[in-house]
């Protein structure tokens, strides 16, 4: 296959949109993932949400439509450009600048109202297209043996201190 993979294209469609009552709409602007927002699903897909309210969390795949696409890997950089962090490749981070700007989040489902899902824990701008939603299956998605690098633990601790939050609670 080699470089032919670069010529393979796929068609996708939005099934809905992230709706934030207020906040940033521009790439690069910080979106607090712990603020509540709505996932508005197109009416034609509403019946597909039947039973989703039985889940505490969802898996949401979305298209970062306003993010710049990465065309080459580029140089290694400190994660989040934070001083003292090791230089890493972009695949080890959650940067929005990717070859295929696809985002993934596992937000908490607060409630369903028809074709609208009120959630917390998704870092997407208002109007971001949603590609898919799945119920979060702890038996399948949860990996108790998973580990992360020390630099990521350090960044998370700093974010928690800045926000005064504990996302794990």
For residue 6, is pLDDT > 80? Answer: no
Q: Residue 78: inside a domain, yes or no?
A: no
Number of domains in the chain: 1
Q: Residue 142: inside a domain, yes or no?
A: no
pLDDT tens digits along 71-98: 899 999 998 888 889 999 999 988 888 8
Q: Residue 46: inside a domain, yes or no?
A: yes
DSSP codes of every residue in the chain: -GGGGGG--------EEEE-SSS--STT----TTS-EEEEE-GGGGGGGTTGGG-SBEEEEEE-TTSPPPSS----EEGGG-TTPPEE-GGGS--S--SS-EEEE-PEEEEEETTEEEEE-----TTPEEEEEEE--HHHH--TT----HHHHHHHHHHHHHHT--TT-
The whole domain housing 133 covers 11-65+101-137
Q: Residue 89: inside a domain, yes or no?
A: no
In CATH, what number is assigned to the domain containing residue 26? 2.40.30.70
Query: pLDDT at position 112, please?
Result: 98
pTM of the model: 0.84
pLDDT tens digits along 10-66: 889 999 999 997 665 565 567 778 889 999 999 999 999 999 999 999 999 999 999
Q: Residue 49: inside a domain, yes or no?
A: yes
């Amino acid at each position: 296959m080699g470089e032919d993979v670069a010529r393979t294209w796929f068609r996708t469609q939005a099934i809905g949109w992230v709706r934030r009552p207020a906040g940033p709409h521009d790439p690069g602007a910080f979106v607090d993932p712990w603020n509540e927002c709505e996932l508005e699903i197109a009416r034609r897909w509403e019946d597909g949400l039947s039973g989703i309210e039985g889940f505490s969390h969802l898996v949401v795949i979305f298209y970062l439509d306003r993010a710049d696409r990465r065309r080459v890997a580029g140089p290694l950089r400190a994660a989040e450009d934070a001083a003292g962090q090791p230089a890493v490749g972009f695949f080890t981070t959650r940067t929005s600048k990717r070859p295929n700007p696809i985002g993934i989040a596992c937000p908490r489902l607060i409630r369903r109202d028809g074709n609208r899902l009120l959630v917390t824990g998704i870092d997407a701008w208002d109007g971001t297209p949603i590609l898919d939603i799945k119920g979060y299956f702890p038996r399948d998605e949860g990996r108790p043996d998973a580990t992360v690098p020390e630099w990521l633990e350090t960044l998370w601790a700093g974010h928690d201190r800045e926000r005064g939050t504990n996302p794990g609670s």
